[in-house]
Amino acid sequence: MRPYVEKRRNTFRVRYRTADGEMVPLGSGFTTHEEAEAHGWEQIAKITKGTWIDPRDGEITLTEWANNWLPAQSSIPGTQQHYAYLLQSFILPAFGNRTLNSLAYADQEIDAWERKIRSAYAASTARQARGRLDNMLEDAVAQQAIPRAPVRRRSTRGSIEERRVLADAQKRRDDDEMWTTPLGALLIAERMALLTGRDAEFVIGVTMPYMCMRFGEVIGLERTALEMARLHIHWQLYGLNDGSIIRKLPKDGKRRVADVPTHIARLLRHQIRTLPAISPSAGTCPCVKHEDAPEFREKYSHPAGIHIFPGPVGIVSRSGPSLKAVATEAGVSTGTVYNVLNRPDVVRASTRARVEAAIANLGFTSAPTTRATEAHWTRSNFRSGVFYPAVWGWYPTKKPLPERPVPVGAGPWPGVPLKGRGAAERATAAWLPITEGLTPHGHRHSGKVWMDEDGIAEPLKDERMGHENGTVQATYSHPTPAMREKLLRSLDARWEASLIERARMWPSSQVEILDHLLEPYRHKYRRCIPIAAPPTKIITHDVPTETRKARYPRRATSL
Q: Would you call 408 exposed, middle or buried from its count of C-beta atoms within 10 A (0-12, 13-18, 19+)? A: buried
Q: Does 409 have pLDDT greater than 60?
A: yes
Closest CA to 111 of 92, 91, 130, 98: 130
Q: How far is CA 353 from the centre of its chain?
A: 52
Q: CA 448 to CA 446: how far, in whole Å?
A: 5
The pLDDT, as a whole number, for residue 549 is 40
Edge-first strand order for the sheet with 3-8 is: 3-8, 11-17, 23-30
The pLDDT, as a whole number, for residue 306 is 94
Query: Are 133 and 110 within 8 A, CB to CB?
Result: yes
pLDDT in tens, 174-219: 555 689 999 999 999 999 999 999 999 999 999 999 999 999 999 9
Name which residue leads in pLDDT, 523 or 392.
Answer: 392
Q: CA 408 to CA 418: how far, in whole Å?
A: 6
Name which residue leads in pLDDT, 26 or 542.
Answer: 26
Q: Does 533 have pLDDT greater than 50?
A: no
Q: CA 316 to CA 369: how far, in whole Å?
A: 6
Q: How far is CA 321 from the centre of its chain?
A: 36
Phi, psi of 100 (to 5 degrees): -60, -40
Write the CB contacts of 525 (distance below 8 Å, at least 6 apart in sequence). 503, 504, 506, 507
Q: How far is CA 69 from the centre of its chain?
A: 25
Residue type, 260: V
Q: How confident is the model at residue 151 (pLDDT cuts 50, 70, 90)?
A: confident
pLDDT in tens, 347-380: 999 999 999 999 888 888 766 555 667 889 999 9
Closest CA to 200 of 277, 276, 267, 278: 267
Please state which architecture CATH assigns to domain 318-368. Answer: Orthogonal Bundle (1.10)
The pLDDT, as a whole number, for residue 344 is 86
For the entire predicted model, the pTM comes to 0.74
Q: What is the mean pLDDT of the chain?
A: 85
Query: Are 187 and 538 within 8 A, CB to CB?
Result: yes
The pLDDT, as a whole number, for residue 204 is 98
Q: Is 420 left (phi over 0), alpha (psi -120 to 50) or beta?
A: left
Q: Helix 481-505 to helix 262-273 angle, to the nearest 10 degrees?
A: 70
Q: CA 133 to CA 129: how far, in whole Å?
A: 6
Say which DSSP state 395 is in: E
Q: Does 511 have pLDDT greater than 90?
A: yes
The pLDDT, as a whole number, for residue 292 is 67
Q: CA 55 to CA 95: how far, in whole Å?
A: 18
Q: Are strands 23-30 and 370-373 parallel, antiparallel or unpaired?
A: unpaired
Closest CA to 517 of 502, 538, 534, 530: 502
Write down the domain spans for the chain: 3-49, 62-175, 182-311+375-540, 318-368
Q: Is 82 helix (H, G, I), strand (E, B) or coil?
A: helix
Q: CA 361 to CA 355: how far, in whole Å?
A: 10
How many residues make up the chain in this entry?
559
Query: What is the average pLDDT across 387-402?
Result: 91
Q: Is 260 helix (H, G, I), strand (E, B) or coil?
A: coil
The pLDDT, as a whole number, for residue 554 is 35
